[in-house]
Amino acid sequence: MKKFTQWCVCSCVALGLAFPAAAQQRLLPDSIMASMKKVAGWQFRYLEKEGWQHAKTDWTNGALYAGVYAFAEYANDQQYFQRLIDISAENNWDAGRRRFFADDYCVGQTYSQLYGVYGEDYMISRWRRLADSIVAQPHTESLEWVNNIHSREWAWCDALFMGPPALAYLSTVTGEPKYLQTAIKLWWKTSDFLYSKENSLYFRDGRYFNQKEKNGQPVFWSRGNGWVMGGLVRMLNNIQPGDPARAAFERQFKEMAAKVASLQNADGTWHAALLDQESYPAKETSGTGFFLYAIAWGVNNGLLPKETYRPVLVKGWAALQSSVQPNGKLGFVQMIAAAPGKATADDTEVYGVGAYLLAGTELLKMSVKEQVWPVTIELYNPAGAPSGLTEMDYKTLADSWKPLRRGPFKITNAITGEEYAYQLIYEGQKEPVKILVDAPLAPGAKVMATLEEGLPAPVVKKTYGRYVPERKDDFAWENDRVAFRMYGRALEATPKEMAYGVDFWNKRTGNLVIDKWYKRTNYHKDDGDGLDYYHVGLMLGAGGIAPYVGDSIWHSRNYTAQRIIDSGALRTTFELGYEPWNVNGKQVNVTKTVSIDAHAQLSKMVIRYTDELPVAIGISKRKEAGTILLEEGKGVMGYWEPQHGEDGITGIGCVVLSPVKEMKVEKGHILTVSATDKNKTVTYYTGGAWNKAGIITGADQWFTYLRQQAERLRKPVRVKISK
């Protein structure tokens, strides 16, 4: 069971509030996550069954998408991101038909966020053209509520959630400052018109300046101000610290947070009218959700003191959760309006769910920080592809948490308590250099992890490699998906069997098979777990490499030295040494360092020559027709071979991290021509897939996998360590 800090009761003198001890209760990460999954699940089931009540480009759904995106990052489940991608595709990645109406381009926030992960230009191209036209407008009209001003300017306070963040997120992902600059300029135009400095609240629009509630107080709408505070957060997420524009946003944020906190109702929510809550006695969850989102964000980011605002958050979250029905339906959402109104337990709307998910995500982050862990590790996958294993720097972690060097430890998910398998990576050193952790991450997702002293759970070994002297000096290696081998000097004594390149073994089991297969009388026959039918010969095979000089491939002889560098459950690394050979009149030597990670289809190849050279990385091409992929810009080369009788179909592919000069088909190969870097090194990944393994069964799947691996390698998981 996780341990949590105990919180003292805060008098909240600064806010003039008093809260019962119940408001100081613990925030439990797993409970918050479960609640968000329940609410999100109900919302999508309802939409699928009953249909969408509003256009998928509408502001109502724009708010939902904002919440789903925030939740999806920590849910670490591809289905939520995929829903947003599918919806965006149905929208043709475009805004609504009313081009300058902020309601219709709120969705630009989601397009920009998805683009930030997946990087596909079509995700923002239409939105960017619209944003360019918004920036180009003079924006000199008065914001008085006449002549349909709302269709051209941000003349109502809700627009500050929809319009400015859409432009701001576009600036962040494109690096183009004009969108953010316009958002900032127009924010303050709206603020100068609608913000009451006396009350630290926004009027909904110009029609409400002189209107009064039943108790004689000005009309300040809960949801409208909630959307403003949500907009403030999302602007601050895109204005970097040190930017001169940031201070004014922080100042207004703090003013509004203090005022809003002082107006929280005894039931934990904010009712529809902020200054006349008695005239609207029912809870209202959409405004409440946005207020909690903003205040929790302020605490998490150091803008608001936790001891003052935590009771507001705990009480408000309890009230929000009490508004969720057993099936996950969120109630007490005021329906679409422009002013305070009633809300019932059965009233719900998509924007209320968006607010709930935004609030829950920030409270989730707060709750993780409150756990009594000595160190917290955030893993973030910025790539539009699932992550592989994650490398963490051992020294950095050990300096942050001294017990790391003392003995065994565990790595666990700080939200769910799930334990992650890991391996210490030494790379030939006496002390570990890295910690390799098996914490899968969906594209764009985050995992919060922590360390504990104690024996970790046993890990099933998923990688293996060894020198095979009993089979003419082979060196074979494998993981829970694929297997390979390269050839030693002893094979050269048998010219008819001689081979140069990399051999791929077609396995269809998660078990390790190298030792078993070498004991078999015939591993070229499938006994249920696969076979070796791939032919290498005097070719580069499944991603071998050789100098490429004078339009010729200069093969080395087979390796003469070998050593294991790391051998563990999650990664095996070894090194092969070669004797010098002639390359166009020059003696050249090479060392090949090969590693394979659990769950991967590809092995990493680090090739170090004694001279700077052009090189060719090759895949043997068959005489029969196959399918070829050559993408020089991405460094991706793929081949889906022709059918090999009853044996099935093999796919071979390479992802080249070194700069690619060209890709071509010649000399019986599919070739990538590259060159050594300043350290006389070439780094690439090579591997394969077999349709009978059932994981990758066609050319499209194989080529998608290769592209995703290229994306993942160029945008590796980011590791953030905090105490």
Nearest-angstrom CA–CA distance, 618 and 671: 5
d(CA 106, CA 545) in angstroms, rounded, equals 50
Indicate the helix (H) or strand (E) that contains 564.
strand 561-567
Rounded Cα gap, residues 105 and 124, in angstroms? 12
In 3D space, the residue among 422, 423, 411 whose CA is nearest the CA of residue 447 turns out to be 411
Point out which residues pair with 449 in neighbouring strands.
Answer: 377, 413
Coil, strand or helix: which one is 192? helix
The C-alpha atoms of residue 71 and residue 80 are separated, in whole angstroms, by 8
Rounded alpha-carbon distances, angstroms, from residue 3 to 313, 366, 379, 398, 621: 20, 14, 21, 22, 58
End-to-end Cα, the chain, rounded Å: 20
Q: Are 133 and 99 in contact (CB under 8 A)?
A: yes
* Structural tokens at position 148: 């349909």
CB 163, CB 124: distance < 8 Å: no
CA 165 to chain centre: 20
Helix (H) or strand (E) holding 636: strand 636-640
Q: Are 285 and 355 in contact (CB under 8 A)?
A: yes
SS3 labels along 251-306: HHHHHHHHHHHHCCCCCCCCCCECCCHHHCCCCCHHHHHHHHHHHHHHHHCCCCCH
**Alpha-carbon torsion angle 178, 179, 181, 186, nearest 10:** 140
User: Could you tell me the two tokens for 339?
Assistant: 């002013």
158 carries an active-site annotation:
yes
Distance of CA 463 to the CA centre of its chain: 26
CA-based nearest residue to 170, from 214, 217, 121: 121
Asked whether 655 and 713 are in contact (CB, 8 A), the reply is yes
> How far is it, in rounded angstroms, from Cα 674 to Cα 230?
49
Q: How far apart are CA 338 and CA 136, in angstroms?
A: 29
Say how far apart CA 90 and CA 88 lie, in whole Å.
5
- Residue 532 tokens, joined: 């070796």
**DSSP three-state, residue 370:** coil
Longest dimension (CA), the chain: 101
Distance from C-alpha of 601 to C-alpha of 271, rounded to nearest angstrom: 55
| Of 660, 681, 3, 22, residue with least CA distance to 368 | 3
Among the listed residues 58, 104, 158, 597, the single catalytic one is 158
Measuring CA to CA, which residue among 108, 242, 86, 231 is closest to residue 174? 108
DSSP state of 488: B
CB atoms within 10 A of CB 582: 10
Report phi then psi at 435, rounded to 5.
-115, 120
The residues, any chain, with a CB within 8 Å of residue 522's CB and separated by 6 or more, are none
CA distance 608 to 576: 11
Give the 3-state secondary structure of residue 332. coil
Residues designated catalytic? 158
